[in-house]
Amino acid sequence: MEQKEFHDVVSIEEAKQRLHKHFKAIPEVEKINLEEALGRVVAETIIAPIDVPPFDRASMDGYAVVASDTFYADEEHPAEVELIDHISAGDKRKISIEKGECAGIATGAPIPKGANAVVMVEYTDRIGKKVRIYKPAAPGENIMAAGSDIMRGETAVREGIVISPRETGVLAAFGAEKIPVYKKPKVGIISTGDELVEPGKKLKYGKIYDVNARAIADAAAENGGEAEFCGVVRDEPESLLAKLKEMIGKYDIVITSGGTSAGVGDLSYRVIDKLGKPGVIVHGIAIKPGKPTVIGVAKKKPIFGLPGYPASAMIIFDVFVAPLIRKLAGIAEKSRKKIAARAAMRIHSAKGRYEYLLVNLVSGGDGTFSAYPVLTGSGAITTLAEADGYVEIPESTEMILEGSEVEVRLLSDSIKPADLTIIGSHCIGIDVLLNLLPVQAKVINVGSSGGLAAVRRGEADIAGTHLIDERSGIYNVPFLQRLKLAGSAYLIRGYDREQGFVIAKGNPKRIKGIEDLLRRDISFINRNAGSGTRVLLDLELGRLAKKKGVQFKELAKKIKGYEIEAKSHSAIAAAVAYGRADVGLAIKTVAEQYGLDFIPLREEKYDFAVPKEKIEKPAVKKFLEVLRSEEFKKKLRETPGLRPCRETGKIINKI
Ligand code: AMP
Ligand code: MG
């Protein structure tokens, strides 16, 4: 079904070939002033037109002499020569000396004709017109010969070099005025979508800030382009067409994002195809993320219709647009460092699509790395911000087994260093704690169970967990046994998170407790199965069912919205805030954030598991110190919905 909506989904290679066939990226050259050259790419190897220095010059203050006059000089028998002149730096006169003569000379001044050495002032005495020399000078001593720095005809700066202050210095040394550099390709960027608002403006319900324009413009600049943002365009063919027509007249490369998915009527595709011949050359690429991509060429300019989802847009930019900008800008293709790692969990991949899977790298301590897929997905911009690199998964691979070796391409030159690796469930309390902790921490959110698995593998220094045992209602402790961690990891009591019903401000529906969920005029929003909050709800419902003497199933059936699941605490609060539900179960923190009312139900224990062998690690010790500190407890109390308990910071299991 989806396949059909795209005209013809092609491989990455095929897409690249089509682009190359219709658009040859040939860099152009311009000459610019030296003062504008910093950061630009040299387009032609620059040959030094003069010697630097252009003349023999003194490298010390002293006297220019004929070396042989001084050969037998020493403290007892100084040589004596006649002082005939003084030459300062910049002196334009053509002076010469004879044997038996000398001239006073300043550092940087031209050596007079006939002289072949400079004696430092320190080894001389001047008596009227005579100079006594106490030390022999070798020919060439203290003279910087013409061309000894840069020789005329020598290569001064090579083609392809990005000009740094070192190069501008060299170029200034021979007075270079106009520097041949590659033109920066002009890149025009727009975002499409009725929902988009430019950062800085007010956000209304249903709207989101435009992420792509900023990220794409900066990525274009980073790769050597001259990027310009040309605004947000509404989802309307006429305005988009008018805008794009204007842009292909002005820019070397045109980039839009959004409006590429077949579902929204495929705006970009239709409009790009109207810009001129050949129009759309690629519509749909077998890549993940980023399948709904459009590439067109019109008026000899390439036009990229990137997907709307930020991470997809950036991956497509990286694979197709960045190489093109770099080529036009004369910059070599980016080479990314590779690192071998183990897959930290089983990874499923889309069949028939070449996948770029973003991952976090965690060091196992023995020099090996584990790769954790970043779970936020292509709709999230943080997917890219948090990732260390990506694993490329070929079309034919559908699954990578846990523990198997993968090759990770680093997004930066090095892996983000971390003194402390926290893997597990996400909680704002960790942010509060880390704000008081002067260490580099890497926080990877994989949920409670994922965190405990990372503890078992020794990859996490600390795992935040809030798993509730369905039978006993006890938090975390039973799971250490269940996951065979009881003897090998400490469980440290964290803090309490208040969970309860999130309801509209002022409680218009007069909800008092769990029994109200059964009312016909109340709509509920549930958490996803498997989440701790969901387990808690079902536990409470089970109790209610017992009390009422009915089946759990019967009770659940009566709740309007029991089967509608939201995946996070925030999503529950947002649903209630925007009137999509009357009530949901979540932590108090989000109720406060959304200005909603809250009916407490039960405390949830948010604890920390630490592998036995990590407990003495300095950063872990510091973490625990802060956890136990009064300052942290005070800050925690100021955070709505979180509060320390008597055991905060205590080890609660025996090893
Ligand atoms: P579209 O291809 O227009 O259907 O967009 C796909 C998804 O990406 C939608 O959820 C859009 O709201 C989102 N999106 C599109 N453009 C942007 C943008 N510039 N910044 C952030 N999200 C965007
Ligand atoms: Mg859109």
Cβ–Cβ under 8 Å, residues 531 and 569 = no
Site to substitute for ligand 1 among 5, 309, 382, most atoms within 8 A of C-beta? 309
- Cα of 585 vs centre of ligand 2, distance in Å, is 32
User: CA 553, 600, 590, 622 torsion: positive or negative?
Assistant: negative
Site to substitute for ligand 1 among 6, 201, 208, 306, most atoms within 8 A of C-beta? 208
- Cα of 193 vs centre of ligand 1, distance in Å, is 7
Domains and CATH numbers, the chain: 12-27+184-329 (3.40.980.10), 39-52+149-181 (3.90.105.10), 57-144 (2.170.190.11), 338-417 (2.40.340.10), 468-644 (3.40.190.10)
Residue of the nearest CA to atom 14 in ligand 1? 308
- The closest ligand to the CA of 212 turns out to be 1
- Cα of 258 vs centre of ligand 2, distance in Å, is 5
**From the alpha carbon of 192, which atom of ligand 1 is closest?**
16
- The binding-site residues of ligand 1, defined as CB within 6 angstroms of any ligand atom, are 191, 193, 195-196, 208, 210-213, 257-261, 264, 307-310
Cβ–Cβ under 8 Å, residues 284 and 10 = yes
> Using H for helix, E for strand and C for coil, what is the string for 498-547?
EEEEEECCCCCCCCCCHHHHHCCCCCEEEECCCCHHHHHHHHHHHHHHHH
Q: At what angle do helices 618-628 and 630-637 cross, to 10 degrees?
A: 60
**From the alpha carbon of 259, which atom of ligand 1 is closest?**
3
**From the alpha carbon of 211, which atom of ligand 1 is closest?**
20
Residue of the nearest CA to atom 11 in ligand 1? 308
pLDDT at 1: 31
pLDDT at 4: 34
Residue of the nearest CA to atom 16 in ligand 1? 308
| Alpha-carbon gap, residue 194 to 328, rounded angstroms | 33
- Cα of 232 vs centre of ligand 1, distance in Å, is 12
Q: Angle CA(503)–CA(508)–CA(512) in degrees, nearest 5? A: 60
Are β-strands 524-527 and 565-566 bridged in parallel, bridged antiparallel, or unpaired?
A: parallel
- Cα of 307 vs centre of ligand 1, distance in Å, is 7
Residue of the nearest CA to atom 5 in ligand 1? 308
pTM confidence score: 0.82
Query: At which residue do the structure tokens 């930066």 appear?
Result: 412
Cis before residue 278, ω within 30 degrees of 0?
A: yes
CB under 5 Å of ion ligand 2: residues: 193, 258-259
Q: Which residues pair with 189 in a beta bridge?
A: 229, 255
Residue of the nearest CA to atom 17 in ligand 1? 308
| Alpha-carbon gap, residue 370 to 364, rounded angstroms | 7
Q: Which residues pair with 552 in a beta bridge?
A: none
Cis before residue 302, ω within 30 degrees of 0?
A: no
Consecutive H or E run containing 218:
helix 212-222
Consecutive H or E run containing 166:
helix 165-173
- Cα of 335 vs centre of ligand 1, distance in Å, is 29
Site to substitute for ligand 1 among 5, 190, 196, 232, most atoms within 8 A of C-beta? 196
- Cα of 265 vs centre of ligand 2, distance in Å, is 10
- Cα of 282 vs centre of ligand 2, distance in Å, is 19
Where does residue 486 rank: exposed (0-12), middle (13-18), buried (19+ CB within 10 A)? middle
| Alpha-carbon gap, residue 316 to 260, rounded angstroms | 13
| Alpha-carbon gap, residue 408 to 370, rounded angstroms | 10
In which residue ranges of the chain is pLDDT below 50?
A: 1-5
